[in-house]
Amino acid sequence: MYPRAFDYVAPSTLDEALGAVGEASKVLAGGMSLIPLMKTRLFSPPVVVDITRIPGLGQITDQGKYISVPALVTHATTASDSLIAEHGAALSRAAQVTGDVQVRNRGTTCGSLAHSDVAADQPAAVIALGGKMIARSASGSREIQASEFCIDALTSALEPDEILVEIQLPKMGPGEASAYDKLGRRGGHSDYAVAGAAAWVKKSNGAVEDARVGLTGVGTKPSLALGVANALVGTDGSDQAVKAAAEHALEDVTVLEDLYGSVEYKSHLAKVFVARALRQALDAV
């Protein structure tokens, strides 16, 4: 199918882009999600604002206290970047298993977060890593915690006049590590997650001092699994402790049955992959 008619705006500066976005517009970065939805007419925005010509938004940088991932950084760049590998292994892995080669070369990490698909890989990783989302509008900027960014299926915390211009990832310290693992819809690691989990842990003096787990694929949005972290903190991080913590994976999560699994199947997978991500992160400390 072809999309309905729309106006196309291609600003050359961020200020121009911020002046063009609004209630009736959609932002185009990679287009890997937006264009298929427009072609099937599930989305029919009257205005498309193409930000791909704006300079300075395509490079990952070390900003001292955090790693900056701007709006036009592709999945492929995130997957191969040495700073992300060092300070956000969960996001590096999530980007590596996002879609196929074409999607990774065109799609963007910020675009994946802004799209807020229920089964996207990278939102779970950014949630587990404690990332901050920087939203800009013509009137200013604001910070949104990654755990509060995905509101519902295909619904983020962005206002209609805002653009997600940057993800800020805290830098890793001593005793910290992260990991991501999932089952993809085609039985492996490609495609959207039937169930997936990202984990970040901090160990000190042989005990788990802090932890965060991001869950994707099973509920209405990528979400923070608070119950898992609460159960794991203070333990020795043993296999038994990890298994017990993973039993809390679905607290405050409404599991959705779909073409790829029943509620029972996806509930089981959620616990399996939470445990796997936690074990991988703990083993990497």
Kindly report, residue by residue over 261-278, the tens digit of the pLDDT.
Answer: 999 999 999 999 999 999
Kindly report, residue by residue over 144-158, the tens digit of the pLDDT.
Answer: 999 999 999 999 999
Residues pairing with 7 in the sheet: 47
Kindly report, residue by residue over 50-107, the tens digit of the pLDDT.
Answer: 999 999 999 999 999 999 999 999 999 999 999 999 999 999 999 999 999 999 999 9
Region 8-37: what's the mean pLDDT?
96
Sequence letter at residue 24:
A
pLDDT score recorded for residue 49: 98
Q: Please, which contacts does 144-150 make with residues 24 or more away whose CB atoms are closer than 8 Å? A: 146/113, 147/214, 147/223, 147/224, 149/113, 149/116, 149/123, 150/113, 150/116, 150/123, 150/221, 150/222, 150/223
Kindly report, residue by residue over 217-260, the tens digit of the pLDDT.
Answer: 999 999 999 999 999 999 999 999 999 999 999 999 999 999 99
Taken in order 240, 242, 248, 249, is the CA torsion positive or negative? Answer: negative
Domains and CATH numbers, the chain: 7-50 (3.30.43.10), 61-170 (3.30.465.10), 176-284 (3.30.390.50)
